[in-house]
């Protein structure tokens, strides 16, 4: 499925300064029963966001109206655990287009890239600066430029570059997905498959 | 040039290398289950394409299935829909489907090896992070997301940058009461849950050589819990003996040809790893976790580390202990528990049931404990009956349930209630993993058994010594 193009994103951000946020928190397993990719945003961080009687937990950041935006900023080792792409779908469906952390778990990072959510890995120092800037002013904006591979705290002008491989960058800029690429080289794959025993 | 085991298998499966991008990696065998596949099949439908190699694809139902009364229709409507979707998708694409009640049904990572789908030197993927289990056979096996499931269904390839390589060496021999699960929990406690992110791990040394195939599967299974995409162990005679004669393993001349290749699967003497770590087997004790990620584990006789002694993340650490309602510095021994779960792709194999039975034999289940014993597959269930383990379980007051992932991720009705403590042989102690508000203590089948008969956290060696005496 082709996805939204990503170029420059300027937005306020939602801070979640917790480490090792695993995909069971992002979307608990009991919400993985759908056969279509719909509505996962409603259950993003379900058990941190709602009490067992479905009333919102006041202190959770997503329930605090002073925080909003298309960027989610998480602590170190974001997205660890289960490979469920539903976690990335929930992040996207809720309205985030970018997740910033000082370290991402492997599969979550891939899943994000595969659906057009940009994972931006920054240094621990810069992550701290972002958290501090948001603490000071919840409406503070970040600018993420994919072409330049930079992330900037607009209020202070502080900026850092981030890594993404050239292939994925092109895909994100153009909204292409891997399956389109693979289907284009299907002949080569079939030749390879023939010489590879079962 | 000297190559690692990982290099040998990876390099021989690269269809194309993209400059400043990923490798296009050919996948030999693809395992599919009901939860992470429906949207992928929908993608194929939308593109109007069929599964490229149905003969390399195998489907089973395990994640959301009940573990009681599997002969009856599945009550939960959403679960039933997912099962129906997988059955229909498998049929439409000519994929073998081993649904509920099928003799080959079971947890995807248990039935792969059982049926000879898992072989050395293969590339194996599944939309499940514990696919790393199959690395026990010297295969490159790892979990993927649903977009990648769609890639493999439609083109038998995925696009992955080649990971870095790490080798973990453990020499010496394990003490009594120390199992493969303890070895894995020990390594994770040392490396943390992100210590191997970006790496593929090879396990080497005396301990892994001496380990059974089941034990190797337990260790490789938990590779993901330190962030590694997968873990692998060089195949040896034990591996070949295990694979030989299984249904989907090569036969006759194909076997001989396969063996020629498999015997080349080891890391060359001078092969270079990006990181190499060594431990001594004598350092490892029976382990238990006290927090909310698998890296928060310790020897069962130790005290919960002080927050000040934990590197960084003090707030996160305290949040974790609050969730568990534990205090820093206290011992775990003697803490009352409510549930015991024996099962999962980590510890749901016959050897795990043998270990559990060895401790509970001649004892009685503690009154305060609810025990869910869930075999990894129907074949495991059969072996439990044939070996007389079922009788031992019954005599001690335990019941056996039907195969599936069960309380490991609590997608079905097997949910630990909020606030309750479960000693679990599964793989994740995340908040709410085993049910909203549930508190999980990860441990080996021996520790689980000791908790099941005493009703509290107990060092299994105490009970084992009694048996010996």
pLDDT one-digit tens code per residue, B269-286: 999 999 999 999 999 999
Domains of chain B, each with CATH number or no CATH? 5-275 (3.30.499.10), 286-468 (3.30.499.10)
Give the whole-number percent of chain A exceeding pLDDT 70: 99
pLDDT one-digit tens code per residue, B200-215: 999 999 999 999 999 9
User: What's the rounded mean pLDDT across residues B164-193?
Assistant: 98
Q: What value does the mean pLDDT of chain A take?
A: 96
Q: Where are the alpha helices (DSSP H) in B336-459?
A: 344-347, 350-360, 378-386, 389-395, 445-454
The span from the CA of B249 to the CA of B230, in Å, is 22
Structure tokens given for B348: 């749901």
User: What's the rounded mean pLDDT across residues B212-241?
Assistant: 98
- With an 8 Å Cβ cutoff, are B159 and A181 in contact? yes
The span from the CA of B452 to the CA of B458, in Å, is 9
- With an 8 Å Cβ cutoff, are B147 and A192 in contact? no
pLDDT at res. B310: 83
pLDDT one-digit tens code per residue, B375-416: 999 999 999 999 999 999 999 999 999 999 999 999 999 999
Interchain contact A49–B (C-beta under 8 A) = no
Q: What value does the mean pLDDT of chain B take?
A: 97
Domains of chain A, each with CATH number or no CATH? 8-195 (3.20.19.10)
- With an 8 Å Cβ cutoff, are B428 and A107 in contact? no
CB contacts < 8 A, A to B, total 204
Structure tokens given for B400: 């056996």
Q: Tell me the pTM.
A: 0.97
**Could you tell me if B161 and B23 are in contact, meaning their C-beta atoms sit under 8 angstroms apart?**
yes
Q: Where are the alpha helices (DSSP H) in B36-76?
A: 38-47
Please report, for residues A176, B49, B184, the alpha-carbon distance to residue A179 in angstroms, rounded to integers and kept in the order given.
Answer: 9, 12, 36
Give the whole-number percent of chain B exceeding pLDDT 90: 97
Q: Which of B181, B454, B335, B299 is nearest to B466 (CA)?
A: B454
Task: Give the SS3 label for residue B373.
Answer: strand
Q: Which of B255, B142, B254 is nearest to B197 (CA)?
A: B142
- With an 8 Å Cβ cutoff, are A193 and B156 in contact? yes
Give the whole-number percent of chain B exceeding pLDDT 70: 99
Residue B467 clears pLDDT 60, i.e. is over it: no
> Looking at the partner chain, which of B28, B146, B151 has a beta carbon nearest the beta carbon of A182?
B151
> Looking at the partner chain, which of A24, A47, A198 has a beta carbon nearest the beta carbon of B56?
A198
Residue A13 clears pLDDT 60, i.e. is over it: yes
**Could you tell me if B447 and B460 are in contact, meaning their C-beta atoms sit under 8 angstroms apart?**
yes
| DSSP one-letter string for A30-44 | GG---SSS--GGGGT
User: What's the rounded mean pLDDT across residues B37-49?
Assistant: 97
Does the annotation place B126 within a ligand binding site?
no
pLDDT at res. B469: 43
DSSP structural state of residue A52: T
Q: How confident is the model at residue A16 (pLDDT cuts 50, 70, 90)?
A: very high
User: What's the rounded mean pLDDT across residues B449-467?
Assistant: 91
- With an 8 Å Cβ cutoff, are A177 and B147 in contact? yes
User: What's the rounded mean pLDDT across residues B244-251?
Assistant: 97
A186: left (phi over 0), alpha (psi -120 to 50) or beta: alpha
- Helices vs strands, H then E, count in chain B: 17, 18
Does the annotation place B408 within a ligand binding site?
yes
Q: With contacts defined as CB-CB under 8 Å, which chain A residues touch B319? A: 18
pLDDT at res. B315: 84
Q: Where are the alpha helices (DSSP H) in B263-367?
A: 314-324, 344-347, 350-360
- With an 8 Å Cβ cutoff, are A35 and B82 in contact? yes
ipTM: 0.96
Residue B185 clears pLDDT 60, i.e. is over it: yes
The span from the CA of B303 to the CA of B326, in Å, is 11
**Could you tell me if A115 and A89 are in contact, meaning their C-beta atoms sit under 8 angstroms apart?**
yes
Structure tokens given for B265: 């699967």
- With an 8 Å Cβ cutoff, are B194 and A77 in contact? yes
Structure tokens given for A10: 């300027």
Q: With contacts defined as CB-CB under 8 Å, which chain B residues touch A17? A: 315
Does the annotation place B157 within a ligand binding site?
no
Residue B308 clears pLDDT 70, i.e. is over it: yes
The span from the CA of A17 to the CA of B204, in Å, is 37
pLDDT one-digit tens code per residue, A23-59: 999 999 999 999 999 999 999 999 999 999 999 999 9
Structure tokens given for B214: 């089941």
Smallest CA–CA distance, residue A155 to chain B, in Å, is: 27
Structure tokens given for A154: 């607009």
- Helices vs strands, H then E, count in chain A: 8, 7
> Looking at the partner chain, which of A1, A25, A110 has a beta carbon nearest the beta carbon of B145?
A110
Q: With contacts defined as CB-CB under 8 Å, which chain B residues touch A83? A: 36, 127-129, 143-145
Interface of A with B in 61-100 (CB under 8 A): 75-77, 80-86, 88
The span from the CA of B132 to the CA of B139, in Å, is 9
pLDDT one-digit tens code per residue, B92-137: 999 999 999 999 999 999 999 999 999 999 999 999 999 999 999 9
> Looking at the partner chain, which of A33, A52, A77 has a beta carbon nearest the beta carbon of B418?
A52
pLDDT at res. A1: 53
Please report, for residues A11, B31, B135, B140, the alpha-carbon distance to residue B143 in angstroms, rounded to integers and kept in the order given.
Answer: 33, 10, 12, 10
């Amino acid at each position: 499925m082709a996805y939204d193009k990503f170029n420059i994103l300027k937005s306020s951000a939602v801070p979640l300064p917790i480490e090792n946020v695993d995909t069971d928190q992002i979307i608990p397993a009991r919400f993985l029963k759908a056969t279509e990719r719909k509505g996962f945003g409603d259950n993003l961080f379900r058990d941190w966001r709602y009490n067992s009687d479905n009333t919102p937990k006041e202190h959770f950041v997503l329930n605090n109206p002073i925080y909003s935006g298309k960027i989610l900023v998480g602590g170190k080792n974001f997205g660890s655990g289960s490979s469920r792409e539903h976690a990335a779908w929930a992040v996207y469906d809720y309205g985030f287009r970018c997740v910033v952390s000082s370290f991402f778990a492997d599969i979550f990072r891939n899943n994000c890239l595969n659906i057009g959510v940009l994972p931006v890995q920054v240094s621990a120092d810069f992550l701290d600066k972002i958290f501090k800037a948001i603490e000071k002013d919840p409406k503070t904006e970040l600018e993420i430029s994919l072409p330049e591979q930079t992330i900037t705290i607009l209020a202070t002008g502080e900026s850092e570059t981030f890594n993404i491989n050239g292939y994925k960058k092109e895909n994100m800029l153009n909204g292409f997905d891997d399956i389109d690429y693979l289907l284009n080289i299907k002949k080569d794959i079939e030749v390879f498959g023939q010489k590879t025993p079962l | 040039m000297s190559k690692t085991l990982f290099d040998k298998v990876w390099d021989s499966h690269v269809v194309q290398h993209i400059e400043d991008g990923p490798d296009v990696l050919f996948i030999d065998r693809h395992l599919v289950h009901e939860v992470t596949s429906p949207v992928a099949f929908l993608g194929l439908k939308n593109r109007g394409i069929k599964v490229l190699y149905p003969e390399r694809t195998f489907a089973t139902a395990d994640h959301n299935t009940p573990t009681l009364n599997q002969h009856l229709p599945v009550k939960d409507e959403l679960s039933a829909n997912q099962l129906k979707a997988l059955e229909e998708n498998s049929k439409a694409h000519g994929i073998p489907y081993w649904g509920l009640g099928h003799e080959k049904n079971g947890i995807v990572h248990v039935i792969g090896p059982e049926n000879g789908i898992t072989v050395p030197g293969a590339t194996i993927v599944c939309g499940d992070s514990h696919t790393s289990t199959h690395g026990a056979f010297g295969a490159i096996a790892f979990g993927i997301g649903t977009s990648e499931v769609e890639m493999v269904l439609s083109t038998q390839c995925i696009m992955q940058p080649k990971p870095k390589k790490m080798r973990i060496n453990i020499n010496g021999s394990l003490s009594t009461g120390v199992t493969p699960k303890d070895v894995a929990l020990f390594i994770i406690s040392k490396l943390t849950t992100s210590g191997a992110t970006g790496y593929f791990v090879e396990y080497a040394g005396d301990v892994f050589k001496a380990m059974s195939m089941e034990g190797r599967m337990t260790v490789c299974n938990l590779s993901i819990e330190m962030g590694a995409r997968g873990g692998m162990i060089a195949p040896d005679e034990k591996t070949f003996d295990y694979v030989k004669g299984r249904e989907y393993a090569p036969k006759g001349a194909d076997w001989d040809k396969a063996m020629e290749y498999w015997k080349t699967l080891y890391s060359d003497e001078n092969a270079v790893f990006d990181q190499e770590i060594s431990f001594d087997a004598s350092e490892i004790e029976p382990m238990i976790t006290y927090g909310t990620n698998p890296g928060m584990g310790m020897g069962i006789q130790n005290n919960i580390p002080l927050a000040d002694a934990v590197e960084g993340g003090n707030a996160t650490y305290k949040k974790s202990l609050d969730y568990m309602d534990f205090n820093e510095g206290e011992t775990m021994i003697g803490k009352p528990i409510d549930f015991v779960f024996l099962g999962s792709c980590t510890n749901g194999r016959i050897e795990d049931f043998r270990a559990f039975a060895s401790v509970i034999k001649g004892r009685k289940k503690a009154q305060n404990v609810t025990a869910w014993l869930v075999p990894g597959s129907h074949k495991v269930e059969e072996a439990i009956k044939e070996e007389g383990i079922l009788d031992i379980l019954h005599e001690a007051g335990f019941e056996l349930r039907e195969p599936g992932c069960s309380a490991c991720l609590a997608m079905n009705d097997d949910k630990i209630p909020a606030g309750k403590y479960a000693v679990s042989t599964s793989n994740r102690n995340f908040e709410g993993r085993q049910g909203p508000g549930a508190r999980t203590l990860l441990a080996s089948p021996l520790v689980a058994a000791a908790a099941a008969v005493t009703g509290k956290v107990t060092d299994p060696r105490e009970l084992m010594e009694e048996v010996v005496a």
